[in-house]
Chains A and B, each alone.
Chain A
């Protein structure tokens, strides 16, 4: 009986694996052509183009489960008509969102983008051939300007993944293709387990690739919300990336510290992180009225939420004065440093340094072998606050006081015998405790 049960179990397993569809199915046969290496050409605009799709990378990518025609919907013939290959990132595809089983769509992100300063960026009509047109005509970023079809497990997270799962492969579909659970939930769980796909350096890079290009930023046209008049951007806007880099936020991120705040952390902390509004917009996370909340998020600067502490939030994170700060590699050779306010502000500190130096020298010459702590000044305060005991004088006073107290407690009040003998003494006089 047990043998039959085992055989039945094996058959069920075998059937399950053979019937399940692989993660990277290609039902339309697109990869029959597009998987060939070297399908390159130079188009009429002089752009080097490639029709090759790295099929292995595609299988391990975020869209590895999505058949080509879910995005390139109208492709029915060859040569493909360009308009038939257009992609709409807001459209829903045949993939189901794992927890609720609804058709997956990026439309919620598009809705956020629509409220942001980048609202005019293309999100549909995207083709490989109109990237140049977008670069030449559009100032707002399209979806593809920041996002590409990256591997499901980002290269930066690959080592973490291999270590955590003891896996060498990154193509989940190679082993897990027969398991529906893996197809539906595996990737989702992996991403949550491994943690954030992007670190703050990568996060910032998305913004800096445009905002770091000062020439391009100078050409940006901004619109006055009330008058709808176009005007050139302020120098503060043009230099925003460079000034941020000088702040503690930027420096910590550059040093790969978790305490650094990325662009998104301040400009779009909520939702899908795409609702970046102008700081003058009342709904903006960077609007002065909302800074206490924005700066206090995730306990970054939680005290800003308390009344009276809001002044801290007025620290200018993109002030042009920050640009004067140089990256100091050889400070003594840097003339700007010698003339900077930073350097001048060091002088008062030098007085304290001098006092410290003299006191240390004095101690080293006269008292270094002495076990006594000798304070030039402030010794009492040091003992009270740093050492956590009363200063010497106070200790001596307290001792004397307690001695007097004890004396009073121990010594009983004895009436002297009225013997008339003048030499008689009180009985306890000789037993008086030593103090």
Chain B
């Protein structure tokens, strides 16, 4: 019995060692919130409406959908945010949510201007770095390959994640900060909640990068080659028809004729 207890303690210690403090956590410790940030947080919490999620409807979808794999169960963000998280923008929400299958939240929303981040594949279950491989991409490797079979075989817990000085940036779900946040969410006062919300979001960008950040060869937000994409895959990602389609939007309310997608 003592032997088992010893091993458990050892594993816990080791676990803490593996999840060393990342840049996001460091920034949270050093952040001094402004009045503006606090007020904004107060407003957003007041406007927030709790959404009651429905169970699967008794009227099923007429068409068979794809596999509905859980995608963000290892992310600390889904402690408060829905999974899938993007709900507001009618235009982009489905595509943004599709990207959450293989891109960590912090990749798009944690982009400090004064730090140079690198990006690697990470197993979000245990935080281990995965060496870049062709097969980690949803993009097919040749015209003959079946894209559905490829997507079905992939696991959603491998995600492109930001790193700083070889350390993963993400805020760990099982980390002390997140545990504390959960407690505030459940038992904290409104003031504590406002403060914690402002603190978590202080280092983050509300909007992610434009599609062209990754889907245009001229931009170098992600180094697809070092992430393991083959030349064929890179070409397809850079010349993605839908990203080009989105680039034609002039303003957020505009609608584009679908025929133009084929142009």
Contact = CB atoms under 8 A, between A and B. Distances in A.
A52 B148 contact: no
Contacts of A148: 60-64
Interface stretch (B82-90, B121-129, B164-172, B199-207): B82-90
Contacts of A28: 258
Contacts of A33: 242, 261
A311 interface: no
A39 B90 contact: no
B152 A37 contact: yes
Given A50-B68, A54-B63, A77-B255, A32 B242 contact: yes
B57 A79 contact: no
B159 to A, nearest CB: 13
B151 A37 contact: yes
A131 interface: yes
Contact of A52 (B57, B60, B65, B93): B65
Contacts of B86: 41
A296 to B, nearest CB: 36
A53 interface: yes
A103 B51 CA distance: 45
A50 B56 CA distance: 12
B255 A58 contact: no
B176 interface: no
Interface string A124-159: 001010011011000000101101110000000000
A378 interface: no
The size class of the interface chain A forms with chain B is 35 or more
Given A46-B52, A145-B59, A52 B262 contact: no
B59 A76 contact: no
Given A42-B53, A135-B58, A55 B98 contact: no
Contacts of B82: 42
B20 interface: no
A79 B63 contact: no
Contacts of B147: 35
Contacts of A101: none
A398 interface: no
A40 B245 CA distance: 19
B61 A209 contact: no
A41 B84 contact: yes
A128 B61 contact: yes
B67 interface: yes
Contacts of A52: 65-66
A28 B242 CA distance: 14
Interface string B141-170: 000000110011000000000000000000
Nearest to A146: B59
Contacts of A61: 63-64
A87 B61 CA distance: 13
Interface in A22-57: 28-30, 32-33, 35-48, 50-57
A399 B58 CA distance: 80
B67 A134 contact: no
Nearest to B149: A56
B160 to A, nearest CB: 15
A46 to B, nearest CB: 5
Contacts of A57: 63-64
A311 B97 CA distance: 64
B4 interface: no
Contact of B54 (A30, A36, A47, A58): A47
Contacts of A252: none
A209 B65 CA distance: 21
Contacts of B68: 40, 48, 50
A93 interface: no
Which of the listed residues A36, A51, A61, A78 has the most CB atoms from chain B within 10 Å of its own CB? A78
B57 A47 contact: yes
A319 to B, nearest CB: 28
A252 to B, nearest CB: 28
Contacts of A147: 62
Interface in B217-239: none
Contacts of B261: 29, 32-33, 78
A209 to B, nearest CB: 7
Contacts of A58: 63-64
Contacts of B255: 77-79, 81
Contact of A37 (B64, B67, B258): B67
A131 B57 contact: yes
Nearest to B52: A46
A206 interface: no
Contact of B64 (A29, A38, A39, A54): A54
A76 B257 contact: yes
A148 B68 CA distance: 18
Interface of B: 51-54, 56-69, 71, 82, 84, 86-87, 90-91, 93-95, 97-98, 100-101, 138, 147-148, 151-152, 241-242, 245, 255-259, 261-262
Given A28-B258, A76-B259, 7 more contacts: A41-B97, A42-B53, A131-B61, A144-B62, A148-B62, A149-B62, A149-B63
**9 nearest A-B pairs in the assembled complex, by CB-CB distance:** A52-B66, A39-B94, A77-B255, A50-B65, A37-B151, A131-B59, A38-B98, A37-B66, A57-B64
14 contacts: A32-B241, A35-B148, A37-B98, A38-B97, A42-B53, A44-B87, A54-B64, A61-B64, A78-B258, A87-B62, A131-B61, A144-B60, A147-B62, A148-B61
Interface of A: 28-30, 32-33, 35-48, 50-58, 61, 75-79, 81, 87, 126, 128, 131-132, 134-135, 142, 144-145, 147-149, 209
